[in-house]
Structure 1
Amino acid sequence: MRLIAFGDSMVAGAGDPDHLGWVGRALADRREITLYNLGVRRETSADIAARWPPEAKVRLTDVEPMRIVFSFGANDCHLEGGHPRVAPAESLKNAHAMLTGAGRLCPVLLVGPPPVVDPGVCARLEGLNEHLRTLAARLKVPFIDVLRPLMADGLFQAEAAAWDGAHPGAGGYQRMADLVAAHPAWRAFTGLD
């Protein structure tokens, strides 16, 4: 199986001293899966929506099963000039385009955004997370909510606070990976169930 992961620095695993991030950790010991981690730092949903089609196209094959996972949102919710970098309605429009476009190619899964340290960004993330959950349900795309469990746990944000305010270390990424890997949608998506 080939799994393409599109997203931002959280997908890329920025801050992880082991350079695995949550995606690499969620696929630990899964040698039958070829991972293409295409997370890019500072990218918003608009950036990802623009780049995913050509980047996916060169990695698609008929020889083995394909999967595409998306995860984004924190950069959309950061303020720039007093406004979110991407307005919530535009974030949802981008998400809709990505999920429907990729869904025509292969199975797709959406992992919600993880928290950051800034409470204002987290408040906007909570709203976006709910809208993404609703959109995914309407499109019949599996959705994994990591925001609330990671906020309740505290380790993800504590590690982020100790580094750059956004990205955790190995422990935080492992917690996120554990949430994702244990989720029935991920297990079905990656062929475990």
Structure 2
Amino acid sequence: MRLLAFGESFVAGAGDPDHLGWVGRALRGRRAVTLYNLGIRGATTTKLAGLWRGEAQARLSDEEPCRIVFSFGVNDTWEEAGAARVAPAQSLLNARAMLSEAGALCPVLLVGPPPVPDAGRQARIAALNENLRQLCASLQVPFIDVFQPLAADGPWIAEAAAWDGAHPGAEGYQRMAELVAAHPAWRSLTLAD
């Protein structure tokens, strides 16, 4: 099976000394899965919406099952000149377009945005997370909420605060991987037992 993972630096595993991130850890031991980690540091939903399809078409195959997982939104909430990099309404439009178009190609899943140790951004990420959850429900796309458990998680927040203020280390990514891997939607998407 081919799994294409699109998103921002959390998908890429920025800050992970083992260079596995949560995606690599969630798939640990799954030799039958070919992972294409297409996480891009600094990518917003607007950037991802403009490039995911071309990247996916180069990797999708009729010879084996393909799946797409998205995880995005944190970069949209960064404020520049007093406004979010991507307005919340535009984030949802971008998400709707990506999830709808990808869902027409193969099964798709959205992993919600993780928290960062900044109270102001936490509120914006929490609001986006809830809006993404509702969007997924309306589109009938599986959604995994990692925001709430990781916001209360000591290692995630401590590692992110200690490194660059956003990205955890190995223990934080392991915690996110455990949350994702334990979710029925992930097991269903990746054909796990």
Distance in 1 between residues matched to 2:117 and 2:90, nearest whole Å: 24
CA shift, 1:157, in A, is: 1.1
Q: Please, which moves more after superposition, 56-65 or 150-159?
A: 150-159
1:33-182 to 2 correspondence within 5 Å? 33-182=33-182
- Could you tell me which amino acid in structure 1 is paired with residue 192 of structure 2? L
In structure 1, what residue type is equivalent to 2:45? Answer: S
Deviations 1:104-161 (A, max 9, x none): 0000000000001111111000000000000001000000000000011221111000
1:60 maps to a residue whose letter is L
Tell me how many residue pairs correspond in the alignment: 193
Cα separation, 1, equivalents of 2:87 and 2:69: 22
Q: Give unpaired runs (5+ residues) of structure 2.
A: none
Task: Please report the TM-score for the alignment, with normalisation by the length of structure 1.
Answer: 0.99
User: CA RMSD for the aligned pairs?
Assistant: 0.6
Q: Distance in 2 between matches of 1:122 and 1:112?
A: 13
Give 1:8's aligned residue: 8
Amino acid at match of 1:97: A
TM-score (norm 2): 0.99
Structure 1's consecutive aligned runs of 4 or more residues displaced over 4 angstroms after TM superposition are none
Identical-pair percentage: 69
Amino acid corresponding to residue 156 of structure 1 in structure 2: W
